Structure 1
Amino acid sequence: MAILRDVTLRDGLQLTGKVLPTDRKVEIVRRLLAAGVPELEIGSMARPDLVPPMANSLELVAALTPEELRRCWLWVATPRHIEKAAAVGVRNFQYCFSVSDAHNKANIGRTTEDSVAAMPEAVRLTRAVGGRVQLCLATAFTCPFDGPVDPARVLEIATDPRTDGADDIVLADTLGQAYPNQVAALVESVRTRTPKRRIVFHGHDTWGMGVANSLAAIAAGADVVDGSLGGLGGCPFAPGASGNTSSEDLLFATRPEWFTPTVLADLVKMSESLLIELGEPNRSRAAEGARSTAKAFEWVVTE
């Protein structure tokens, strides 16, 4: 069974324009981990002048324990990012770049080839601190500037010897334009034709396919699916991208053993409070359903 990684504190916050205080982020991390969420993405090394909500990511890392950090990931785009993050205790690095050159240049200011060429050094630095590193491929399905992305290009990067050291591979539907058969086909190809490693599917719900695409990815062999509280999020460098797939919706669909009506109620209350604080809409259908008047259904939140 695939597990959930909640990305509220990174991808979820990117478009909000508001910096949550460090202690508020610590509270969210600890509540999510206590609820049973297996893994979290908690921040980014992106430039704070370009992505202000990520400005205190390293302060958040410094406030967490090594045990908590073992379940947390930080977005990085260069070996230098890894050096700086490792110095304050990060051990799980999501080394991210785009399959399409146009988006990679808009997002991190370099070509895809430049990012691939730097990955061996990123892997070396990760291993030097006993960490893990993910090969995260943004725009794995479509690019906002170039259109559809050829799956062969994804496989080319995934089988490039310079990316061999990755512990996981993340396939990101950055724009939320993919559909289930397409997601299943790419996950299956990556699973059977590239080095063995965990497969993470990162979906957005822009076109209403977030949960369907995540379930298709799981059926095709994905080990992890990403979501955010209330469907919060989007990419500031991808015109047309909206929120992530909702964590509540993914959990309600997949029903891991630790996910109970009590846990759902806690997550719904947590996301409602956060979204009000940020001035953002709640896009979770499960959260909406949990507030229904069908009191005989055990998943309804009655408080």
Structure 2
Amino acid sequence: MTFTYTPEAQLRDVTLRDGLQLTGKPLATERKVEIARELLALGVPALEIGSMARPDLVPPLADTLDVIAALTPEELARCWVWVATPRHIEKAAAAGARNFQYCLSATDSHNKANIGRTTEDSVAAMPAAVALTRDCGGSIQLCIATSFTCPFEGVVDPARVLGIAADPRTDGADDIVICDTLGQAVPAQVRGLIRAVRDETPPRRILYHGHDTWGLGVANTLTAIDAGATMVDGSLGGLGGCPFAPGASGNTATEDLLFATRPGWLTPDALAVLVRTGETLLAELGEPNRSKTAQGARSKADAFEWVIGETA
């Protein structure tokens, strides 16, 4: 008998964007493209493949336009690029990107640190970003960072997030991404905010982006799915973090989220490939592997079909 987590949600792997933001070692463009193709071929529904942030501020993602240009239109249809201005969309679209994650923060302090402007300035520019997206036949997401807590201002009032989500200037978003940027939220908070976004703001697909800083990444993500999120973010081995959010650690591990939710395409063999891909990548970068599923897969419990052993 096969068990899957219901209600179901798709996973978007963000290794190649959020996952790489804080790495000390660079990853070659060709290697990024290789990983993207491995994940897409395996059945991962969607990927984040880069960011249009200033290269001097986020050096590991400086080659994003090259990554975009190397992928086919069919591959790019399942890939997302982080943007924060209309100009970012112009540049990414010219390279071939069609899916844009327009990011701003719920608090001015983090928005200024992350993007260099107030939240109001980012909201005011979104209609132009939407128009550019429509011109190239693409899709755009409203991504609200620091939806629960801010490294500079502390706990964020849910009304602040709901106000941005319901602002007429953000109506053009196809999706909305609610982010636990610091990984400090607990399931009750996640449930409350996701439900409020679902019930009190314009109808659109809801995504949840969580970090595992306080060990609740999987629990919060499952709660978000229960509350109405239909796509969730993770990164291989729990790699990641925000360079402008002191206290943030890696994303919730892709392996852990997939093992918990068991989408139809995930077989023991597919999980084994994901585990090996994550292990190889993290070893290349000199980063720790935080995935509990990767650890479990390497155990000696051979009777469990998801175990791949210590040397396989």
Q: Output the CA distance in 1 between the equivalents of 2:212 and 2:245.
A: 14
Q: Deviations over 1:237-296 (max 9, x none)?
A: 000000000000000000000001001100010000000000000000000000000111
The structure 1 residue matched to 2:16, chosen from 5, 9, 25, is 9
For 1:17 and 1:218, locate their aligned partners in 2 and report how far apart those are by CA, in whole Å.
Answer: 33
Give ranges in structure 1 of 5+ residues lacking alignment: none
Do 2:101 and 2:142's aligned partners in 1 also have CA atoms closer than 8 Å? yes
Superposed, 1:224-243 pairs within 5 Å as 224-243=231-250
Distance 1:288 1:241 in 2: 22
Secondary structure of the corresponding residue to residue 8 of structure 1: coil
Aligned residue for 2:298?
291
Equivalence map 1:61-140=2 (5 Å): 61-140=68-147
Alpha-carbon separation, structure 2, partners of 1:85 and 1:11: 17
- Distance in 2, matches of 1:97 and 1:52, equals 20
- Write out per-residue CA displacement over residues 202-240 of structure 1, whole angstroms, 9 at most, x where no aligned residue: 000000000000000000010111000000000000000
- Which of residues 142, 149, 156 in structure 1 aligns to 2:156? 149
Contact 1:151 1:186 in 2 (8 A): yes
In 1: Cα distance, 2:89 partner to 2:232 partner? 23
Q: Give the SS at the match of 1:130.
A: coil
Please, what TM-score do these two structures have when normalized by structure 2?
0.97
Q: Deviations over 1:114-159 (max 9, x none)?
A: 0000000000000000000000000000000000000001110001
Q: Using the alignment, how far apart are the partners of 1:77 and 1:228 within structure 2?
A: 21
SS state at 2:30 partner? helix
- AA paired with 2:69? A
- CA contact 2:12–2:231 (8 Å) conserved in 1: yes
Tell me which amino acid in the other structure corresponds to 2:96: G
Matched with 1:255 is 262
| Inter-partner Cα distance in structure 1 for 2:191 and 2:256 | 19
- What amino acid is aligned across from residue 301 of structure 1 in structure 2? I
| Whole-angstrom CA distance in 2 between matches of 1:169 and 1:257 | 25
Residues in 2 aligned to 1:51 and 1:286: alpha-carbon distance in whole angstroms: 29
Q: Sequence identity of aligned pairs in percent?
A: 75
Of the candidates 58, 81, 86, which is equivalent to residue 51 of structure 1? Answer: 58
Partner residue in 2 for 1:161: 168
TM-score (ref. length: structure 1): 0.99
**Aligned counterpart for 2:183 among listed residues 171, 176, 181:** 176
Offset, 1:100: 0.4
Q: What is the alpha-carbon distance in structure 2 between the residues aligned to residue 248 and residue 54 of structure 1? A: 23
Q: CA deviation at 1:18?
A: 2.6
Ranges of 4+ aligned residues in structure 1 off by more than 3 Å: none
- State how 1:11-30 maps to structure 2 within 5 Å: 11-30=18-37
Alignment partner, residue 201 of structure 1:
208
- Tell me if structure 1 keeps the 8 A contact 2:100–2:141: yes
**Aligned partners of 2:182 and 2:249 also within 8 Å:** yes
Q: How many residues align?
A: 303
Deviation at 1:109, TM superposition (A): 0.3
Equivalent of 1:217 in 214, 219, 224: 224
Contact 2:26 2:285 (8 Å CA) reproduced: no
Indicate conservation of the 8 Å contact 1:173/1:203, yes or no: yes
Alpha-carbon deviation of 1:17? Answer: 3.0
**Is residue 275 from structure 1 mapped to residue 286 from structure 2 by the alignment?**
no
Tell me, which stretches of 5 or more residues in structure 2 are unaligned?
1-7
CA RMSD in angstroms, aligned pairs only: 0.5
2:210–2:220 Cα contact (<8 Å) kept: yes
Shift of 1:79: 0.3
